[in-house]
Amino acid sequence: MASNGSTGRPLSPHLQVYRFSLLMALSILHRATGIALYLGTLIVVWWLVAVASGPAALAFWQMVFLNPLGLLVLFGYTWALFHHMMGGIRHLVWDTGARLDVASAKSTAMFSTIAAFALTILVWIVAFMVR
C-alpha cells in the first residue's frame, strides 16, 4: 500500500485505479466546476465594477465578452454554474441520507447532467431574445 513518507500513514488509492463511469466523471466535474466558478467570479466582479465605473468601462467589458470567443467563455461560466448547482443539490440530498444507492445515484446523475445543459440553453435563448 502506498504510504505517506514521514508519518507512515496509509494513503487512499487515487484516480487511476478506478474504471471510468458517469458517476466518477460527475464527482470530478463537481470539483472542476467549483474551481472554474471560483475563477469565474472575476468575470462577475469585472462586470459589476465596469457598470459602476461608467459607459467606457462597460463598453470595454462588452468588447471582450460579446464576440464568439467571449460568449463561449460566458456559456462555459453559466453551464459550470448550473452543472455545479445541480451537482450541489445532489450532494445536499445525499447529506440527508437519501438516494445514496447506486441506482439512484445513476438516475440523478443523468437527470442533473441533462438539466444543467437544458438550463444553460434556456438562459441563452432568453438572452438572445431580449437583446
Partner 1 sequence: MSQSLKTPLGKVRGLGSAKSGTDHFWMQRLTAIANVPLAVAFVILLALTIGKPHAVQAATLANPIAAILVLLFVVAGVWHMRLGMQVVIEDYVPNEGRRIAFIVINTFFAAVVAVASIYAVFKISFGA
List the one residue from 10, 11, 25, 31 that touches ligand HEM (CB under 6 A).
31
d(CA 26, CA 15): 13
Tell me how crowded residue 130 is: count the other CB atoms within 10 A of its CB: 6
Q: Is 59 in the site for ligand HEM (CB under 6 A)?
A: no
Instruction: Give dist(CA 103, CA 98) in Å, integer.
Output: 12
- Which of 78, 120, 112, 117 lies closest to 93 in space, CA to CA? 112
Residue 123: name its binding partner from ligand HEM, partner 1, none (Cβ under 5 to 8 Å by kind).
Answer: partner 1
- The CA distance from 96 to 104, in Å, is 14
Strand-pair partners of 10: 3
As measured in angstroms, the least distance from the Cβ of 90 to partner 1 is 11
Binding residues vs partner 1 (CB under 8 A):
4, 7, 9, 31, 34-35, 37-38, 41-42, 44-45, 47-49, 51-52, 54-55, 58-59, 62, 65-66, 74, 78, 81-82, 85, 88-89, 91-92, 95, 123-124, 126-127, 130-131
Of ligand HEM, partner 1, none, which one does residue 126 interact with (CB within 5 to 8 Å by kind)? partner 1
